[in-house]
Amino acid sequence: MTLKKKGVIFCNFCEFKKTIAQQTCIMYQRVMRFEVPQFIDIEDKIFGPLTWRQFLYLGGGVGMAVVLFFTTPFVIFLFLGLPLGLLAAALAFYPVNNRPFSFFLEAVLSYIGSNKLYLWRKKDEIIHKNSFTPTLAGRKDPEPHQQNLGAIQKRNVNSLARRLELEALQKKE
């Protein structure tokens, strides 16, 4: 905090008098400095060159492959253990688009399990029994000719729009 009196700055923190022309202050030395962390997206190496996640993927994959090796015939081990080991290695080390393989595998499995055919069907307008209000006897109903005029104009606009679209497509070719 500084006080200005007649061209002189009195600094409360460092008790140092300065003229306004000398704007640098010793207060800079009292400001706390913090080290900004860098590389926050890189995981810590816990087991030698492996991160915790890599260690768990490899340990689980190798452990299951060893169990298969000792409990099943060699041919079954080749068909089950090798793909299991390759999956564990991919989960541990293979990034897809700079993201872990587990995200890619999750996206593939959700795509396989989801619907792929999307159909749009226009819903029919439902008129409920209680929503209809009869016209009053004193009101004059619009003439039938004017009721049909709106539908005819709508059809004309639709056909005009269709014609314009077809002409635009023909010009592109």
Question: For position 26, what pLDDT does the model report?
Answer: 46
- Is residue 25 within 8 A of residue 1, CB to CB? The reply is no
- 132 occurs within a structural domain: no
Instruction: Name the DSSP class of 73.
Output: -
87 shares a domain with 60: yes
99 shares a domain with 62: yes
pLDDT tens-digit series, residues 68-120: 999 999 999 999 999 999 999 999 999 999 899 999 999 999 999 988 887 77
Domain boundary among 113, 136, 156: 113
> What count of other Cβ atoms lies within 10 Å of the Cβ of residue 86?
13
15 shares a domain with 60: no
Give the C-alpha separation, 102 to 92, whole Å. Answer: 9
- Is residue 58 within 8 A of residue 19, CB to CB? The reply is no
- 79 occurs within a structural domain: yes
* Token digits of residue 8: 């002189």
pLDDT tens-digit series, residues 8-66: 555 555 555 555 545 555 445 556 677 787 777 777 787 788 888 999 999 999 999 99
Residue with tokens 């991160």: 51
Provide the domain count of the chain. Answer: 2
56 shares a domain with 27: no
28 shares a domain with 54: no
If one compares 6 and 93, the residue with the highest pLDDT of the two is 93
Helix (H) or strand (E) holding 4: strand 2-5
> Can you give the residue range of the structural domain that contains 10?
1-32
Give the C-alpha separation, 152 to 146, whole Å. Answer: 10
4 shares a domain with 59: no
pTM listed for this prediction: 0.46
Question: For position 50, what pLDDT does the model report?
Answer: 87
3 shares a domain with 60: no
